[in-house]
Chain A
Amino acid sequence: MIRPQPEPVQVVKQRRDAALARLVGGVPYIKWLGVTFDRRGDELTAVLPFADRLIGNPAIPALHGGAIAAFLEVAAIIELSWSLIWEEMEKTTSPRPDAPLPPLPKTIDFTVDYLRSGLPRDAYARARVNRSGRRYASVHVEAWQDNRARLFAQATGHFLMPARDGDG
């Protein structure tokens, strides 16, 4: 049996990285906050490099609770949207690089747990889509700084999914 040649690894990587860059690069607030994403296969890690403008309490100093909430929400939305894009992208062997991105999910609610104060250094977050239905999704996010096992914040959010082809 003759199998088709698998795509060269750099072609696959380039396509996935380009899709992620388009998703993230389109959002001005993500750029302003300074959040970037590391990708390993479909797994994303959101990175918030430390910057002075993220400080909320200059006396400690500690990251602003609002900046932490924003970072977690960015991580959750991008993870959720990425899971939709990934599914579409991996369905075909030659997806169009300029395929329109689906509209972003809309946040319904978001609950943040502040476990310890955010130190003035880089922070990381990973989100897990616990449930992704046709209309609603539930996403959990964990954030840490130096030590993966010592979370400094976590959050759960519910999202309204964008209408998909065939809806309505």
Chain B
Amino acid sequence: MVDVLKLARQFIDALPHSRALAMRLDRVEDGFAVISMPYDPTFIGDPATGVIHGGAVSALMDTASGAAVMSHPTAPLATATIDLRIDYMRPATPGQRIVAEALCYHVTRSVAFARVTAYDDDRDRPVAAATGAFTLERPAKQGAAE
């Protein structure tokens, strides 16, 4: 299990945009992924309040969703976002780490569905939530004609 997390971390580190936002993979297993991002003044979206830009939170949630899809037991080879709908429930508190928890809750032959929730230190009041549809490239079944 430790090795899986290590491998998955290396995978996230290999994504330049995720690395640029200093994302860290905290947990990944069977279609569930937790990825977090530190507060950084560079990512402020509203200078009047110091709140992180929604775009950075979107990137975090998109990455977490993609990781959840990739870790699904069907062992996809690749995935890409088809659509992502993000609800911003409240501004993230400046100075606090943002954590996104994503679940790939259903897959078909070629589509994966995921939902993700983002929190800061206040676990009772999510910052944002999103649902998305993702492409799913499955490993070819042995002996099965496509």
Q: Chain A residues near B14 (CB, 8 Å)?
A: 58
* Number of A-B residue pairs with CB-CB distance less than 8 Å in the complex they form: 132
B54, CB-defined interface residue at 8 Å: yes
Contact of B18 among A52, A62, A64, A104 (CB under 8 A): A64
Determine the distance from Cα of A50 to Cα of B72 in the docked complex, in whole angstroms: 32
Q: Is the CB of A28 within 8 A of B83?
A: no
User: Which A residues from 8 to 37 make CB contacts under 8 A with B?
Assistant: 26-30, 32-33
Q: Is the CB of B18 within 8 A of A28?
A: no
Determine the distance from Cα of A69 to Cα of B88 in the docked complex, in whole angstroms: 14
- Residues of A within 8 Å of B, CB-based: how many? 38
Known: A32-B42, A66-B63, A103-B48. A112 touches B83 (CB 8 A): yes
A54 to chain B, nearest CB (A): 6
Known: A57-B80, A109-B88. A67 touches B42 (CB 8 A): no
A132, CB-defined interface residue at 8 Å: no
- Interface size class on chain B is 35 or more
Of A70-78, A84-92, A134-142, A143-151, which binds chain B?
A: A70-78
Q: Is the CB of A107 within 8 A of B88?
A: yes
Determine chain A's interface SS by DSSP, over half rule. Answer: mixed
Closest to B64 in A: A66
Q: Is the CB of A67 within 8 A of B44?
A: no
Known: A28-B41, A66-B59. A58 touches B16 (CB 8 A): yes
A35-55 vs B, Cβ < 8 Å mask (1 yes, 0 no)? 000000000000000001111
Known: A28-B44, A32-B43. A64 touches B86 (CB 8 A): no
Closest to B46 in A: A104
Would you list the 9 A-B pairs with minimal beta carbon distance, nearest first?
Answer: A66-B59, A70-B55, A64-B17, A29-B53, A53-B20, A65-B81, A66-B62, A69-B58, A111-B85
